[in-house]
Each structure stands twice: as C-alpha cells, then as structure tokens.
Structure 1
Amino acid sequence: MSRPLDGPMRHRSSHSELLADVQDSYVESAGGLNAIVVPSARRASSLDLLIDLSARLGAVLVVLCSRHSTVEDVADRVARNPLAEAFMIDVPKGFQLRQMPRRTAAPEFRDASGGRASDLSTKRNLGLLLARLMGWGKIAFIDDDITLTDTAVFRRLSKSLDTSNMAGMVCRDYPDNSVVCHALRLAGFHQDNFVSGAVLGVNCYDLPLTFFPDIYNEDWFFFSRAVVNHELTSVGDATQLPYKPFADPGRARSEEFGDLLAEGLYSLIGDAGGAALGYDALLDLATWQFWHDWIDGRRETHEIIKSYLADSDTVETRQAMRSLSAAEDQLVTIKADTCVAFLDAWRADLKDWAMSSAAVNMVSDYWEAMAVLGVRKWRHAVGGDAYAGSAQRLRTRSLQLSYSASR
C-alpha cells in the first residue's frame, strides 16, 4: 500500500479534485475536431497511428518537425494513407515566433531551469496561431509518444470543447510525471496523474488565448486559468510510451524549476478555492514568503524520498538517487525572488499574447499563413486513392510544397 507524503508545504500527491470529469456524460458533438497538432521529434514511423487516427476523424494532421522528425520522412508516411490530409512544418533549431512573448524565457529563468533547451512550447504556440490563421475552431495537441486508436474518445473531447475552451486526457500507463514524481512512486508514495499537454483539446475560437511558456510544465501554466475556474475537463485516459526517467540526471535538473513552480501554484489553487477567488487574486497569493516556504518543503520532500530509497540497492534506485541529487543541486540555486519574478513575467506575457493572438485573423491560403508565422519550409498533402503508397506522385498531385520565406 502506498503511503501519503505529509506536510502542509510539501508536494501534493494528487490534484485530481481540480478537474471537471465528463467521462460519463458523452453526447455526440455537432462539430468534430478540425486538426490534430503533433509536436514531433521522433522518427516518422512513430506517427503511423496518428496519421490513421486523423484520417478516420476527418481532421487535418499538423506535424511540427525537429530533431529526428523531418518534413520529407513524414510526407512519405502520409502518402501511404489515401484519406489523410497533413501539414508538415519544419521547426529548425533556434526558431522563434515573432508573436510569442519572451519575458518568461529570460536568461535568469533559463539558468533556474539548469540551461534547459526545448522547442516544445514554441511548437505548441505555433499550432495555436496556425489554427487561428486557418480558421480551425477545435484542435487537439497529441504528443508523438501517445498511442491512441479509439475515435470515440476524441468525439467526446470534441463535445467537451462545445462548452469548455480546454479538455484533455490523463496518461496513466505509462504515467506522465516528472522525474521527482517517478521517484516518489518508486519509494512507495502515492503519486497520481493529471491532464497534460500530451493529449489536450483547445477551442481556438474562445478568446483570449493563453500560451505555453518556455519552461518545464508549460502545459500546467497554459491551462492554469481554466483550472482556477474549474473549467478543465478530463475526457478519459491515454497511453504514453514508457521511458527511463532516471537514465539521465540532467533531466531532473532541467525539470526542477518548472516542477517547483507548477506544483506550488496548483497547491495554492487547491487550498484557495480557485474560482471563488479569481485568477489574478490567486497569483497574488504566491508571495515571496510562500515560495520561501515552498522551497523548504520541496527540499524536505527530496530528503524524504531519498531516505526511503536508501535501503534499496537496485540499478533503478541508484539511478533515482543520482537524479534526486541533481534536482537537489538545482534547487539550491533557486530563490524565492526568482519564483516571484517568473509569475510577474508570466502575467505580463499573458497580456501581450492575448492581444497578439487576438489580432491573428483567418487568411486566404496556406502560403499567407506560413508567411505570417515566419515558416520557411513546409508541405501540405492531401491523399487520394489513386495515389496511395507513392510519395512522389502524392507530392506532384497535392500541393506538397517547399516554401522559402523571403525574410
């Protein structure tokens, strides 16, 4: 039996009470998903299930490619499905959206995140703006390590977006948690899961849009206002491919700042009553003293986990201990002042993004959309029965175009 982690300023094992669960109230939606947006870094073969899923749902697939994922390779996979329609967009290293606010990406916060480098928030924000430009109301973000084939759950997600601006799924197998949360579970403590950006539906007609900051747990910040208002719905469970959370201690180091902030903020939401208080008033409660105490509680949490793992001498527990030590080393560098400054930057960025995203209106064609986004390399593909299985013929037939921006 798992044990609780006691202490008012320590890590909370669950935030499930903050979700609005609609799994038992499914009714067919009048309108389905317009697009599925996949931030992709794995090889194109990992996308076969999502290509098929998008085709069966009649949704455009948007694949945002970097690292091992390339526009050309994804186009080859899309060509094999005659019913698929897809955008493949190259997101090169260092790419930045002109519309994306940058205060939360300041050097002091990057240092607090141990030099963390990720393009995930950029990709997701690109997906939001593309939806505005293309006139897509309902989109679903799905990570490229999610395996889902059931269209019914996405119809339920689409229905939820008729009345909520966000709805998602919970990854329980394999659990979607931070390294520290995985260590908690390994030590025998109860550790729940929460909705994440791994499968997240967004109604892009519902303004103002929020955005994904460049920090670990960017998705928790993205839907934090919805959580405060008790408007984030869970429509079911998703399956994530397993990975080894303790293989690289650097992972724990790069997650520590974002995990500290998100867990602290959500604990405040749970304690303060959320909607009765309001979002700005809730953020006002995250004072210097709160973060000073929360950092102390986080340090105690690390120590407790290590004390329970100390008696075990397996490869996994030794790796977990090294990861916890890396997280502890990073925590020493994080001050309450930095936490306060990040939330101040977050509020300012939210205001700027609300104005810039609201000013993004539907355009007349794909070329104009890509020019607005500053995208230099992209392709659009529409399959057809006579061209299934031939990437070259599909390129010729269906506007798979490489675009080089003049800027």
Structure 2
Amino acid sequence: MEHDRSRGGGEHHHGSHRHLVDVFEEGEQPPHGRGAIDAIVVPTIRHPRWLTYATRLALALGCHLVSLHSRNWSRAREAAQAMPAGLRYISADVDHVDRLRLPDFETTAVLRDTPFARTTDLSAKRNTGLLLARLLGWRRIVFLDDDIEVGRLADVERAAALLDTYDAVGMHIGGYPDNSVVCHAHRLTGGHQESFVGGGALAVAVDPGRTPSFFPNVYNEDWFYLLGERRLRRLAVAGQVKQRPYDPFDRPVRAREQEFGDVLAEGVYWLLDGDAAAGWRAAADAAYWRDFLAKRRRFVEDVLSRVRRLPQGPRHNRHAMENSLLAALGRLRRIEPELCVRYLKAWSVDRRRWAAHLDELPHLEFATADAVKWLVKDGERGLHWYGSMVD
C-alpha cells in the first residue's frame, strides 16, 4: 500500500487529489483477507439491459442486487423479468423522490428556487440504497453505476475486505475518465488531470458502528459523501473498473449544471490538498471563496483559450468544447462566496440530521417487503417493486 503523493498541482487548479487516499496496488493483499459484500446498488435511468454487468457480478459474489429505476425507458418490471435464476434482487421504480422517506435536507432548501437547484435523482437513489441497507442490517454495499464494467471479481472482494479498516473504498475508473466537463477539456488540451474516487464504483461500510454520511443533491455528491466534519473520511483505492465512453460536450447544459458542485468540491479539496490534517474548515469563510472563485475563473478561462487554439477536426469538436466552457463560465459568474458558505453550513446540519434519521429506523433484517414499505413516507403510495427476497 502506498500513499499517492502526486497532486497534479497548478496555480489555479489541482489535477489530482489521489495523495489524500491510500492506494493498494494490483496483487497487494488487504490486511484482513477476503470480505463479503451484502448488496450491489445500481441507480439507473437506462434500459435494464445496462444491468448486465452488475447482474453477473452479484451472481458471482452471491450477494443481493438492488436496482433503482426512473424515467420512461428504465422500469423495474422489465428489469425483474430479465433477472437470472438464483439471483437475489430488489428492483424498484423511484419516480417521485418527494415520496421517499428521506429527511428534508437543508442543502436542498438552500438551492431551491435558484439557478443552482439540481433536478436529477441520483443522490436520492443512493441515499435510498443507504436506507435499505440500514433497514435490512447490511454491513457492506457497493454502489455501481450502470455504465461501469467490473473486470475481476477479486477487485471487489479486495475492496470489501478493506472496509474493515476504511469507511469507503473506491475502485479506480479506467476506460473513459470520470471527470467533469471542464476537467475533460483541461485534460484534452494538455493539462494534467486524474480521476478521484467516485460513487460510480464505491464500496462503503454501512454498519451502525460507523459515522454515517449521505449524498447531497449536488454535482460531486460522492465527494461530499467521502467528507467528514473536518477532514476526509478513511478512504482507500483498490482494483480497477472501466467506464463506457460518452461525449461530455454533447450538451452545454451539462457543464452549466455541474459548475456549482464542481466549484464547491474542488474548493474544499483544495484545502485538504494543502494540509489534510488541518482539515477544510477555512471553507466556512467567505473570503476564502472569494479567492477560490477567482482561481476557478482563471482556470476555466485558461482552458477555454487552449480549446480555441485546437484545430477543428474529427478528434476534437472544438466548437462543442467551447460552448460547454462558456456555459460553465456563465454559471460560475453567478456563484457568490456567501452561497458557498451557506451551503457548507447546511451540509453540516444535514449530516447530523441524516445520522438521527438512521437511528430512528427499525431493524427488519430479512423482512424485505416491510423494508421496501419503509422507504416511502407515511401516507404515500408504496413503490412499485419486484424481488426474489419476498417474505
């Protein structure tokens, strides 16, 4: 095991945060042998055929598969019909997140009725996976995005074993890099840019003895899940998975919607890069964000200038990249330092609220049907779901 010290540093941007985590190289055995995964949780908006890799992995591990569906082309019924014999699974339609038994998060309220409010349901689905784990008494789960391919079973088993020591273990995402739109452009124009640990392939310990965390409804929600009150939670990287390619520049709105969360996360982790032991509490100061927002603007403008020098051709869609960066800059100009401070204060409130919420849940263990009922608020219509673990 090594502590990665490379930062990919720059005057206005850090291209790597991997020095903050313990990296276990291929073939290096964790200190506690093999670990058991209780469930793989897949939040999805795609057709159930995208669950193929997660299904194979769950069968090989002998664990449960939880698929949480929304939107017209991703339905639990179709997923259930495609599940192979012998697989223990829960497939549920999660179309109306306001019906879910989730706390009224202060972080959501801070952004409500602002241009920064996020309309995706990814965070709600991941938090629902955490609720289900607590209700059923699971101790280790793996979050896996539907566009992730896991090559080796042993990598997941190593990650699970490390959860005896770490709060979360990410698997390095190879194939197409897992970056924001702005960071994709930075890398494609010659900048040093790595991927950090993300929720796309993340093993987490969810037993009651751990300090719980949650996914706020903001871009880079997984980076905030990994964050503690003052410093990073115990975090490691082991194994490798592959993300299927996509075009990050196909819609400028993607960069616009990412910018607030990208600013927040990069600003907090910038402080951790400087002194991980000292923590990130300087981010509670508006003066810090005034300085960091200026850094961010210079960084995005520098990437934009490099994009404009690219030759137009099949390798680089220069105009699409430029439009995405202009969209990010437009959104960046609307971010005020005081909003960043308010959001982080709300996040601290929400961490305590989430912990209290989990403490109020019953322990249902093998009562799967009852656990699924508990996922929605009292008086709300229950989820449409299918499963092989019915009482």
Fold shared by both chains (TM-score > 0.5): yes
Distance 2:271 2:244 in 1: 31
Distance 2:263 2:300 in 1: 12
The CA deviation at 1:211 is 0.3
Q: 2:40 aligns with which of 36, 42, 46?
A: 36
**Contact 1:166/1:226 (8 A) holds in 2:** no
> Which residue of structure 1 lines up, in the alignment, with residue 53 of structure 2?
49
Distance 2:113 2:15 in 1: 27
> Which residue of structure 2 lines up, in the alignment, with residue 277 of structure 1?
278
Q: 1:368 aligns with which of 367, 370, 375?
A: 370
Inter-CA distance 224–160: structure 2 relative to 1 (3 Å threshold): same
The CA deviation at 1:149 is 3.8
Instruction: Tell me whether 1:243 sits opposite 2:246 in the alignment.
Output: yes
Distance 2:307 2:205 in 1: 43
> Which residue of structure 2 lines up, in the alignment, with residue 388 of structure 1?
none
1:4-403 aligned at under 5 Å gives the runs 6-7=10-11, 10-23=12-25, 24-26=28-30, 29=33, 31-67=35-71, 68-78=73-83, 81-106=84-109, 108=111, 111-113=114-116, 115-205=117-207, 206-225=209-228, 228-229=231-232, 231-271=234-274, 273-274=275-276, 276-277=277-278, 282-312=280-310, 313-314=312-313, 316-363=317-364, 365-374=367-376, 375-381=382-388, 399=390
**Contact 1:109/1:338 (8 A) holds in 2:** no
Deviations 1:193-252 (A, max 9, x none): 111000111111143311000000000000012993561010122100111000000000
SS in 2 for 1:170: strand
Distance 1:226 1:43 in 2: 38
Distance 2:359 2:159 in 1: 24
SS in 2 for 1:239: strand
Inter-CA distance 83–194: structure 2 relative to 1 (3 Å threshold): same
Which letter does structure 1 place at the counterpart of 2:320?
A: Q
Distance 1:217 1:82 in 2: 36
The CA deviation at 1:308 is 1.1
Deviations 1:28-48 (A, max 9, x none): 645410100000111111111
Which letter does structure 2 place at the counterpart of 1:222?
A: Y
Distance 1:166 1:289 in 2: 32
**Contact 2:37/2:61 (8 A) holds in 1:** yes
**Contact 1:19/1:230 (8 A) holds in 2:** no
The TM-score with structure 1 as length reference comes to 0.86
The CA deviation at 1:27 is 5.6
Which deviates more from structure 2 when the two are superposed, residues 180-189 or residues 224-233?
224-233
Which letter does structure 2 place at the counterpart of 1:288?
A: A
Distance 1:108 1:55 in 2: 40
**Contact 2:32/2:164 (8 A) holds in 1:** no
> Which residues of structure 1 form unaligned runs of 5+?
383-398, 402-407
Which letter does structure 1 place at the counterpart of 2:319?
A: R
Which deviates more from structure 2 when the two are superposed, residues 168-177 or residues 359-368?
359-368
- Sequence identity, in percent? 36
> Which residues of structure 2 form unaligned runs of 5+?
1-7, 377-381
The CA deviation at 1:310 is 1.2
**Contact 1:104/1:345 (8 A) holds in 2:** yes
SS in 1 for 2:203: strand
Inter-CA distance 110–123: structure 2 relative to 1 (3 Å threshold): farther
Which letter does structure 2 place at the counterpart of 1:159?
A: A
Which letter does structure 1 place at the counterpart of 2:81?
A: D
SS in 2 for 1:308: helix
Greater helix share, structure number = 1
SS in 2 for 1:169: strand
Q: Which runs of 4+ in 1 moved over 6 A?
A: none
Which letter does structure 2 place at the counterpart of 1:69?
A: S
Aligned residues: 371
